[in-house]
Amino acid sequence: DIGDIIRGKDLYRGNSKEKDNLEKKLIEYFKELHKHLDQKTKNHYTKDDPYYYKLREDWWNANRKEAWKAITCKAENAQYFRNTCSMGKHSTQTNCQCIDGEVPTYFDYVPQYLR
């Protein structure tokens, strides 16, 4: 799950070398992002080093909708969604969002092992 990966909470148990490389890249990206913050904001995340978990969490909360659009909206004819969108009343086949227009990131708050 992309939100878990970005926030450093992914339970991926596959290739540990791949996971380590991905985590290193994310730390690199968020370190660079941290450099460009204004001083007050940078100070807020100072204790967050070296993994930037708080910055990553806040970034995901601020950008989840855009990330979701980037992932799904170019898959217009794909059956990406299950019937969990729109209370299970309508299939969202061939659509890049739920019927109500919201992004189904409500799963972010359910522990990954329960999804």
pLDDT at 7: 87
pTM tops 0.75, yes or no? no
pLDDT at 48: 80
SS3 of the chain: helix, strand, coil, percent, to 5: 60, 0, 40
Q: What is the pLDDT of residues 34-75, one digit of tens each?
A: 999 999 999 999 888 789 999 999 999 999 888 877 776 655
- Tell whether the model's pLDDT for residue 89 goes beyond 70: no
- Least confident stretch, 2-6, 26-30, 106-110: 106-110
Structural domain containing residue 62: 2-114
* Residue 36 identity (one-letter amino acid): H
Number of domains in the chain: 1
